[in-house]
């Protein structure tokens, strides 16, 4: 677990995929392929590039933050007025690739404030989940 994900509220999904990183990278970065599993888009693997993901239910505004071919891809994800950062990490494994997606639910410019604050979000949420469990 990296420092960022322990200091912000985040969603992490991991999966072993029986294909090499190079092939998965193509599916993550080529617009006509992205459309097949995610949404219609005008993505370009260029840092700073702004793009939209378009679905029936609305549009997600995005900006590319980091591109390291076959290893890491990161972009902002703004929908319903909430900006988050989506980071893909590809790690070669004996059977193919360990694919990890991490979505952190806060603006990058706010993360420092959260990290500096005493009592980070994860502890806060852990405590509140316990409370919720009790009040149910």
Partner 1 sequence: MPYTHEVLFKTLADPTRRAIFERLCREGEQTVGALTARAGVSQPAVSKHLGVLKQAGLVLDRHEGRQTHYSAQPGALAPLIDWTSQMAGFWQSRLDDLEDLLKRMDQ
* Binding positions for partner 1, rule: CB under 8 A: 9, 11, 13, 15, 17, 19, 23-24, 26-27, 33, 36-38, 80-82, 99, 101, 103, 105-106, 110, 113-114, 117-119, 124-125, 127-129, 131-132, 135
* C-beta closer to partner 1: residue 66 or 117: 117
Under 8 Å between Cβ of 87 and 102? yes
Burial 88-108 (b: 16+ CB within 10 A, else e): bbbeeeeebbbbbebbbebee
Which residue's CB is nearer to partner 1, number 48 or number 58? 58
Least distance CB 68 / partner 1 (angstroms): 19
Taking the complex as a whole, the smallest distance from the CB of residue 88 to partner 1 amounts, in Å, to 10
Q: Which is nearer to partner 1, 44 or 96 (CB)?
A: 96
CA dist., res. 72 & res. 66, Å (int):
7
- What lies within 8 Å, CB to CB, of 102 at 6+ separation is 4, 5, 10, 11, 12, 86, 87, 89
Which is closer to partner 1, CB of 18 or CB of 48? 18
CA dihedral 73, 84, 122, 11 (to 10 degrees): -60
CA 55/CA 43 separation, integer angstroms: 14
* Residue 81 C-beta: closest distance to partner 1, Å: 5
Q: How far is the CB of 82 from partner 1 (least distance, A)?
A: 5
């Amino acid at each position: 677990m990296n420092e960022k994900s322990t200091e912000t509220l985040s969603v992490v999904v991991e999966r072993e995929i029986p294909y090499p990183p190079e092939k998965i990278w193509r599916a993550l970065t080529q617009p006509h392929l992205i459309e097949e599993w995610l949404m219609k888009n005008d993505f370009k693997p260029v840092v700073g590039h702004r793009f939209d993901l378009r679905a029936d239910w609305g549009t997600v505004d995005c900006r590319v933050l980091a591109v390291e071919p076959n290893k890491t891809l990161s972009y902002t994800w703004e929908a319903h007025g909430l900006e988050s950062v989506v980071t893909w990490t590809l790690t070669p494994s004996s059977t193919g690739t360990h694919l990890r997606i991490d979505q952190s639910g806060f603006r990058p410019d706010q993360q420092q404030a959260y990290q500096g604050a005493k009592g980070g979000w994860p502890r806060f949420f852990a405590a509140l989940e316990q409370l919720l469990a009790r009040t149910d």
